Each structure stands twice: as C-alpha cells, then as structure tokens.
Amino acid sequence: MRALSRVQEWYGPHSSTAAEWPVDALMLAKGTTTVSVVLPARDEESTVGDIVTVIRRDLVERTPLVDEILVVDSNSTDATAERAREAGARVVAQNEVLANLPELTGKGEALWKGLAASRGDIVVFVDADLRSFGAHYISGLVGPLLVDADTHFVKATYERPYIGADGVAQQGGGGRVTELVARPLINLFWPELAGFAQPLGGEYAARRAVLEQVPFVTEYGVEFGLLVDLLQLVGLDAMAQVDLGRRTHSHQSMAALGRMAGQIMLTAWSRLERQGRVMASEPPAHMMLQFGLDGDADLVDVAVAERPPLASLVLKEDVA
C-alpha cells in the first residue's frame, strides 16, 4: 500500500499529454540545448523514411526544435539506410560505431551505438516501425526536459491497439509482453515504477548526461533495464511520462514475443542480483525450447549481453 500511495503521489505532477507541450513554447525554453532524435532500424524501409520526413519538415525546417536526426542501421538487409538518408537523416551502420569493440546484436546495442554517435544534450529514441508517427511524439517527449531542469527521463504512453492480419484494430490488444511479463515484474519488485503505463515502449527521451551513466542491455530487455537503472540513479521524481495518443506499429510473432519475454526476465533477474535482492548458486538458464503450431521444437538462446555506461568508456579513453 505504501508503494501504491507513492505512485499516486507521483502520477499527477509527472504525467501530461503531448498537447501540453506546444512547439512554439518549447522553442522559448530550448535556448542552447541541443536535441538529437535517434531511430534504431532493422529492415524498416517501409516506415523509416516517412518518420524522418516528418521530423525534418516539422521540427528542423519549419521550427528548429531538433538539431540532429540519426538512424542507426542495425544490419538491415533491405533499403532502410537508403530510405532514411533520402529523407534527410544522418545514417550510421551499427557495427561501424565504436568499431574497436566486439560486435554485439540486438535493439539495445543499436540504442547504445546511437547514443555514442549522436551529439545532442537531450536524446530522443523513437522506434522506426511506427505507422502512426507525428511530430508531437518528439515535442511531447522533450517538453518536460526543456521546461523542468529537475526532470531527467520522459517515457511515452499511448493507446496501443493490436492490428490483426485482416487489418482490423483490436483496442487494448497490443503490448502483450508488457501485460504478461513486464508489468507483473515491475509491480512485484519495483512497484514505484507501476505508474508507467507502457514500460516497454520504444519512445522515450532523456538527458545525455544521465543516459551515459547507465548500462544498456543489448537485446529486448533494454527498456526494462533502463527504467530500473534510472530509478536507482535519478529517483522517481526525476522521471515523467507523456501521453502521445495512439501508437500503431508492426507486430511480432508469438515465438518472437516468447524470446522477448525471456530476455526481459533475464534482465530483471540481473537487476535483482545487482541490487542484492536475490542470490543463486548458479545463473539462470538461457536456452529456451519453443514449439511451433506444427509441433516442431526449436531451441533458442535468450541470453542478454550488456554494454557498460558510455561515460566509463570515455573516462578510460581520457585516462589513457
């Protein structure tokens, strides 16, 4: 009950809608603060160009709220890089950023490399598969950061329908891994974070100085890990959420969602261990046996690696 009371106390002052952060007002607050938008993208040729075009047109050319649009091409096999570049983004290949380090895979790796390659004081992460993107996604997320110096991290919330194979939206059907895995874990072990309606959402913004102080899980546990780590680093009152309205995007198969769930559970376990809340004689297994609709079994690895805080690498280079 104490945790619920804390969430209720936090929720009102730290929750808002995108409409509360008009671009003209944000330009007055922006000053010399620079803003980078980073899109991790793998085989998203059908959507990434449209997203970049909206940002460039509305938030660079029409009103200069955004200083940099960066797309991290995560080993795409299609024309993702070309579409992003044509639309006006700077494109970097994931494995060419900090190329002296061993190559890793996964969404979190692309985000970490994007943080390293970008320059802005505020970094906004946006998934590249969005079909409902609007400029208000960016202005809504940076609003609290530009206006309130005590806010360090802003997470998006939204209505997230599930789009079936027939193209019909099922209200409340999206976010299956959130409801079945992430939300129960948060309420059990980090109940202060229970007020975040979309803890696994890929749209969020933070100050670079804060992001560079936390590790990044390389796979799909990255959003979960960032929430938990930032809670420990900056505290709940430095975190906020903004309602962006409606979010539609491509959906993954049930098998892919199962692998994602395993990665999130391993990420949660690692944070519990790091915080001294669990002890085990041996680490959790990371191989998972999955069964398809045809009954065939597939053994998959859901292990997650982790990149260290970026600031620690910079510090080592400075010392060297």
- List the Cα angle 238/68/23 in 5-degree steps: 60
Q: Which two tokens stand for residue 74?
A: 């995560």
Cα 192 to the chain's mean position, in Å? Answer: 19
Mean pLDDT calculated for residue range 258-268: 97
Beta-bridge partners for 163: 169
Domain coordinates of the chain in residue numbers? 1-312
Please check the confidence at residue 320 and state whether its pLDDT lies above 70. Answer: no
Burial-class residue 311 by CB neighbours within 10 Å (0-12, 13-18, 19+).
middle
Mean pLDDT calculated for residue range 232-258: 90
Q: Which two tokens stand for residue 303?
A: 């292990």
Q: Which two tokens stand for residue 253?
A: 């198969």
Q: At 217, which helix (H) or strand (E)? A: strand 216-217
Q: How far apart are CA 143 and CA 154, in angstroms?
A: 9
Q: At 5, which helix (H) or strand (E)? A: helix 2-11
Q: For 52-75, what is each residue's pLDDT tens digit? A: 999 999 999 999 999 999 999 999
Give the E-state strand segments of 33-180 in sequence order.
35-41, 68-73, 90-93, 122-125, 153-159, 162-163, 169-170
What is the value of pTM for the model shown? 0.93
Mean pLDDT calculated for residue range 247-264: 86
Burial-class residue 170 by CB neighbours within 10 Å (0-12, 13-18, 19+).
exposed
Amino acid at 175: G
Residue with the bigger pLDDT between 161 and 238: it is 238
Please check the confidence at residue 166 and state whether its pLDDT lies above 80. Answer: no
Local structure of residue 249 (DSSP, 8 states):
B
User: Which band of pLDDT confidence, cut at 50, 70 and 90, is reported for residue 163?
Assistant: low
φ, ψ for residue 220, nearest 5 deg: -75, 0
Which of the four CATH numbers 2.60.40.1180, 3.90.1150.10, 3.40.250.10, 3.90.550.10 does domain 1-312 have? 3.90.550.10
Q: How far apart are CA 247 and CA 200, in angstroms?
A: 13
